[in-house]
Structure 1
């Protein structure tokens, strides 16, 4: 089979399309013919080995996972004898980040519990855009942010992969949602249901008079003190992305602010979860959530896809088709 191979850390130029052995599933795995995959921030971390702390999970000197890629959508070719949830021919999607990655390939062999039946109203390409980004949005809003109906929720970075899902999922919980994005993305964020949209090139939301019950920082560079100022008295700030300084402040200062006041401030890291992906599938099939895809690239064009992705201005998701 064809696969993208990465044997060292570096720029997208190190990624090579090669012929490798098709994996053979064991008794507890399924073999999936991959129809589409997608890019997420974790793919960039695995490519570059940055920040350095990530290497303790991915390999100190070189990647221990030679085939990158987390999200997949495809069709099951065969199943191990102990597999109970799926059969050959089933159309599935899932997040492989917890079981060795490997999505940028024509086939993968994975445990059945990382997969869910594909939403009936999505194509393979649309389904591949969902797992990691949508699960990140759901878990950060619900598990870490304790979102409730009627709350005022702000999504900073509302037009990116996680942000577009966060806007829609927050609306599904009954929140009043404000999205923060650049001028060119205003219409996209409005189209997915945001009640209000702030153009960060013209207005700094941390300096206006509005306060928010929950702020999800998906992108940006504001200091944590500015976010604290924009929170309501018992508000909650959750950092899932942004600049390195923003990440460090959330890790170091977030717990201090949380202990010394009524506002909760901290960071969050997504974990692949089949139950949560089923929850998201139900939202999709109910018409409450839909993926936003800006560009699609062929498997042979993965280096080019990474070069565009690391610019940080993509609208929604970037998909890889096989």
Structure 2
């Protein structure tokens, strides 16, 4: 199978490479779309690595709203990517951290024994995962495996939105809604690292958490509406609004933008059929009639961006916020909690 392994006792069989399929592992599995109860943890065959793959012993895997949508199959639009009638991948989960057990013959960037973190197409909620080498980078020494697993998708979304879409520069004013959530908690820290003056929007219970992330200002949305024209408004306009909640109409949010500011809508929620598509289309259309930039986007997994994040993490400029950890046996409970939409930072499953 093009796999090599190093061990103290010399070459040994690699789990998952047995052509007879005798090796098994524990994994969260679903055979149909539905609520978290469709998940069960059972023994399955270990995956077979390819020549360009890395075979990872998973230590932890994080989950985010996208995993919840992929599990439920709602909005129905997600089924175009994950399978029309049933999930194409039986084991969910993308973001992971762990130890390299073996590498394919074409892999030169990593070796057995390396501690790594990154993302896969699916299959992270398992004891082992096969991941393309280009999707993994060495784990910063100052991070635990739980912290590292929390990073990939959410932090890359925040980095690409602020750096590549909004082009945040030193001195810019940036407002982040959902500042205590998975993407938001990374976004406020990355915006600060880019030199911006940062305002985080959150509920009363999360004010101290958001303040601890280094923001310049905190808006408690239960008492202050950053879009309102009445006495509860902050009275500020922002160069960039990264809207991870989308609780306000586009027209209202635009009132809080500078005349040439950038609004990035970033929520997968919406109707049961198309999810956020209607809002995205409206933002695209409106952008052609205003000097303001309305820029919905889809983040893409990029190894170089993960390396950039690793540097920020190693320097202490970005620190993952961990809400809760669950053992693999409680994966359904973890996804149920994430689906409720009120996480403080990231939810991580330990394997």
TM-score, structure 2 length as denominator?
A: 0.89
The range that moved more, 64-73 or 137-146, is 137-146
In structure 1, the partner of 2:250 is: 224
In structure 1, the partner of 2:147 is: 126
Work out the CA distance in 2 between the residues paired with 1:27 and 1:151. Answer: 45
Asked whether 1:319 is paired with 2:342, we answer: no
Asked whether 1:141 is paired with 2:165, we answer: no
Within the candidate set 52, 58, 79, 1:55 is matched to: 79
Within the candidate set 52, 74, 78, 1:28 is matched to: 52
SS across alignment from 1:126: helix
Work out the CA distance in 2 between the residues paired with 1:6 and 1:140. Answer: 32
Report deviation, 1:248: 4.1
In structure 1, the partner of 2:331 is: 302
Asked whether 1:263 is paired with 2:292, we answer: yes
In structure 1, the partner of 2:171 is: 150
Is the CA contact 1:150–1:175 (under 8 Å) kept in the aligned structure 2? yes
Work out the CA distance in 2 between the residues paired with 1:83 and 1:52. Answer: 37
Is the CA contact 1:250–1:265 (under 8 Å) kept in the aligned structure 2? no
1:61-91, Cα deviation, whole Å (9 max, x unpaired) = 1110111001000000011111100000000
Is the CA contact 2:119–2:131 (under 8 Å) kept in the aligned structure 1? no
Is the CA contact 1:157–1:220 (under 8 Å) kept in the aligned structure 2? no
Within the candidate set 81, 98, 104, 2:105 is matched to: 81
Gaps of 5+ in 2: 1-24
Report deviation, 1:266: 2.8
Larger Cα-atom Rg = 2
Question: Greater share of helix residues, 1 or 2?
Answer: 1
Work out the CA distance in 2 between the residues paired with 1:266 and 1:28. Answer: 35
1:223-246, Cα deviation, whole Å (9 max, x unpaired) = 000111110010000011164179
In structure 1, the partner of 2:7 is: none
In structure 2, the partner of 1:293 is: 322
In structure 1, the partner of 2:3 is: none
Asked whether 1:238 is paired with 2:267, we answer: no
Asked whether 1:206 is paired with 2:206, we answer: no
Work out the CA distance in 2 between the residues paired with 1:243 and 1:18. Answer: 30
The range that moved more, 239-248 or 289-298, is 239-248
Is the CA contact 1:3–1:19 (under 8 Å) kept in the aligned structure 2? yes
Is the CA contact 2:51–2:104 (under 8 Å) kept in the aligned structure 1? yes
Report deviation, 1:261: 1.1
1:210-268, Cα deviation, whole Å (9 max, x unpaired) = 10000001114110001111100100000111641793453122122211110011312
